[in-house]
Structure 1
């Protein structure tokens, strides 16, 4: 099902959400290997059908003829079987060699300096943290991955709860994310645009609503974005936004979420310091807008059954103030 989705669904990206549209070095290597396998297996299949048709034709043609002698009938069969075995061995050697070379090319990026990104899989969302090249500190966001075009990013993949699998079909192959283990995946994107990542391992009830929006940006755009993400949240001057901040900091939200620059320092949920800049919320379940934000925190179970986020019970005016504040966090 995950493979079918990766080939057919447009998702939240600019182009097709597909392994057939590579936009990075690793995906291009895998796409080349896929094409080679299709050609080799397709030729083998065509030859099988051709030999089957030839055998049937010979059988029909010789139905009324005298049967051949033992030597006459066995010699073509031995030659044909020998040639076929040689062709199969040659095809397997070709595919094995190509697979080995692609594996080496996927690992080669690790020999160079790479942008370090740590991705933690949760049920059912992604925690994304970037190591600041200047300070060495980690800059955290959630459910959205920014990558600079033309530069290798090394992803450190860990799982908080169950086994997940990280996969951005246009940019790389998939890699399991396992509790207690750190797996490394290198991505070198080449084409600017938006792409969609998935969890490709069934990880619970809302597995299909565990998406990751991936932005490949020009280097200068990425640097500006990362600098903005490193900044703490501003203090609102508008009374409604100030009321929303007060509800967030002094209510139940602060127990699970961080907004840097405020006393809210919960760690069990996503960092919301700049949540208003994201394209979606709830692990890709809903587009980012004020109405969806309000619906999500008032009744998350109705929108994503099984989620660990509790409902926030507020009167309508206070719910609107909280939603406005969250949308304002940019």
Structure 2
């Protein structure tokens, strides 16, 4: 039988190298897990802010619960948190499996239909942090973003207090006409504006939509032009979304936008 010492040495080196790579990879994963665990484990559970996140195709419902129903805040896609304060996020899904992921803050957490999960986080530096659904959830999965706005305790308290208020009656004539347009068209079938008779929960709560940076789950900036395009033809931006087209006459569209932009 012929032997090939060179081949045997090569095979030994290959196996040895593969073993070293595997050990090194496992070591790195272990260190990262310990660091992440220490970071999460270091979050105090004393007096946390509780936020409920519900995933929808393809947007995020954000609720700040309160024992008094009229003090509960419901918004969409924009999560405000106080800096340096522990936050417990209770997650669930209204339809399919989603995954809540804010890569600069914490790990992923799946949102499951009919089941509530929880993730702890604490943001120690003010700023706006991008988040994203990390579980393929349908055609517009890539357009299911959110942002976490970390602000001082004082700024957060002011924001929360403002969000608790119902929408103010429009003072501007165009905005007043816009309210009538909202209430007489398909908008009222899907959205809530507290302080009006619009109370549907099918789509995002719009009570303070003008206070948000983005619309359509971080897909478009919250500007007059983007808002108009989203209202008239949402399918061109997010095909398959449940937002229906609203081909309004120009005067009605301008009035509706004036009203929505008054909802600070």
| TM-score, scaled relative to structure 1 | 0.69
CA offset digits 1:189-235 (Å, max 9, x no partner): 00001110100111111111111021100100000000000000000
Over 3 Å counting, the alpha-carbon distance change for 1:132 and 1:92 in structure 2 is same
Equivalent in the alignment of 1:181: 115
Question: Between Structure 1 and Structure 2, which shows a larger proportion of helix residues?
Answer: 1
The structure 1 residue matched to 2:147, chosen from 201, 210, 213, is 213
The verdict on how the C-alpha distance between 1:144 and 1:97 changes in structure 2, with shifts beyond 3 A counting, is closer
1:53-92 matches, within 5 Å, as none
CA RMSD of aligned residues (A): 2.8
Does the CA-based 8 Å contact 2:71-2:164 persist in structure 1? no
Partners of 1:213 and 1:279 within 8 A in 2: no
What SS does the aligned partner of 1:272 have? coil
Query: CA separation in 1, counterparts of 2:154 and 2:136?
Result: 37
Structure number with higher strand proportion:
2
For 1:116, the equivalent position in structure 2 comes to 50
User: Tell me, what secondary structure is at the counterpart of 1:260?
Assistant: coil
Supply the distance in 1 between the matched residues of 2:24 and 2:235 (Cα, whole angstroms). 56
Residue 250 of structure 1: CA displacement? 2.4
1:268 pairs with one of 191, 202, 208: 202
- Once residues 95 and 269 of structure 1 are traced to their aligned partners in structure 2, the CA distance between those partners, rounded to angstroms, is 40
1:292 matched to 2:226? yes
Decide which structure has the larger Cα Rg and report it: 1
Does structure 1 residue 227 correspond to structure 2 residue 168? no
The TM-score normalised by the length of structure 2 is 0.86
Picking from 88, 111, 136, the partner of 1:202 is: 136
Aligned equivalent of 2:245, options 287, 304, 311: 311
**Gapped regions of structure 2 (runs ≥ 5):** 1-5, 7-11
Indicate the SS of the match to 1:273.
Answer: coil
CA distance in 2, matches of 1:295, 1:152: 38
Aligned length: 252
